[in-house]
Structures are given as C-alpha cells and as structure tokens.
Amino acid sequence: MHPPVRPWYKEFWPWFLLGILAMAVIMGTTTLVLSITSFDGMVVDNYYKKGLAINRVLEQDKAARELGQRARLRIDDVTGDVTVTLEGDARPERLRLALLFPTQGGRDRHITLRRLRGGHYSGQLPSALRYRWYVQLHPDVADPAWRLIGEIHLPQTRAQWLAPHAEAP
C-alpha cells in the first residue's frame, strides 16, 4: 500500500521557493521606485565637455593667485546677512557666491553680492542654512577671470577664509 500523496500546495518546499522569488520581485520593484523618485542630480550626461572645462577652472585659480585674491566670508545664521571682505588687486562691482551642497545639487544656493566700499561686499541669504557647504566666489560675469574656493560648516560664528585652489599650476 502506498501512503496517500499530499497536494503540492500543502508541502513546504514549493512555498519556500516561491517566497524567495516573491522577495526578489518586491526588492527589485522597491529599488526601481527609489531610483526613479530620488534622483540626486550628480551624474553629468556630457562628461567630456565638463572634463574640458577643468582647464578653464585651473586658469581661474591661477589668475586669482597672481592677483593676490583672497576673501573673508561671514554668514550670520540669524539674519542671513552675507558679508565678504575681498583682498587683492581685482575689485569688481558685484561678486557671485555659490554655496554648493556636497550631495544634492538641488540644494545649491547662488547669491549676488554688491560692493559697499573698497573691498567690502554684502548680500542676503533667503533662509538659514545648516550642514557642510562648498563655497565658490567669483566676479558676477558670464566668464569670470578668477575664483576663490573654500568649505564652510553652518551655522558658524567666525569668518571663513576663501583662497585660490592650492594645486593650480
């Protein structure tokens, strides 16, 4: 006599294997949804053109060093006032301050600073900022001749110095 055969859906192993397949489908769908909804904006589609722009950036750093440019940046975390004291030979009427968030391009802030007198410039942030930011300062023109860079952790009470990139030729 043979023992009665149980139907397949009452066995453990078919459900175990189907569970593994179902988990793979769920995880794949979750990964797809996350990749579509949380675009970070850091990937560049025209990387060759961006690579060629590196030479222009190096020229800006070299020009800033030759002009003796450096700046002291202060950001008031309560009022949002941005003040820059620029040292060096170049004194444009307006400066462009770029606060770049390291991982999310959508959080970047660009502020135009107007010259008050001598090497003193002022501007206003629309809202208080927190965390770490990369800072770039250059004349407010389409093709700036020089730039200064730095890094700042906000909120911060003391001034931050900006200088040309140290490795520029």
63 three-class SS: helix
Q: Give the per-residue pLDDT at 168.
A: 41
Smallest CA-to-CA distance from 133 within 162, 89, 100 is with 100
Measured between its terminal Cα atoms, the distance across the chain in Å is 91
Regarding pTM above 0.85, the answer is no
Q: Give the per-residue pLDDT at 169.
A: 43
111 three-class SS: strand
Catalogue the E-assigned strands of 68-130: 70-75, 81-87, 94-100, 109-117, 120-124
Q: Give the per-residue pLDDT at 38.
A: 81
Q: Give the per-residue pLDDT at 41.
A: 63
Peptide bond into 139 cis (omega under 30): no
d(CA 78, CA 130): 12
Instruction: Read off φ and ψ for residue 5, nearest 5 degrees.
Output: -90, 130
Smallest CA-to-CA distance from 89 within 53, 139, 40 is with 139
CB 151 within 8 A of CB 134: yes
pLDDT tens string 23-62: 999 999 999 999 888 866 666 667 777 677 777 888 899 9
Residues of the chain with pLDDT under 70: 39-45, 50, 167-169
Q: Give the per-residue pLDDT at 54.
A: 77
Q: Give the per-residue pLDDT at 4.
A: 86
Token code pair at residue 146: 């020089």
Polymer length in residues for the chain: 169
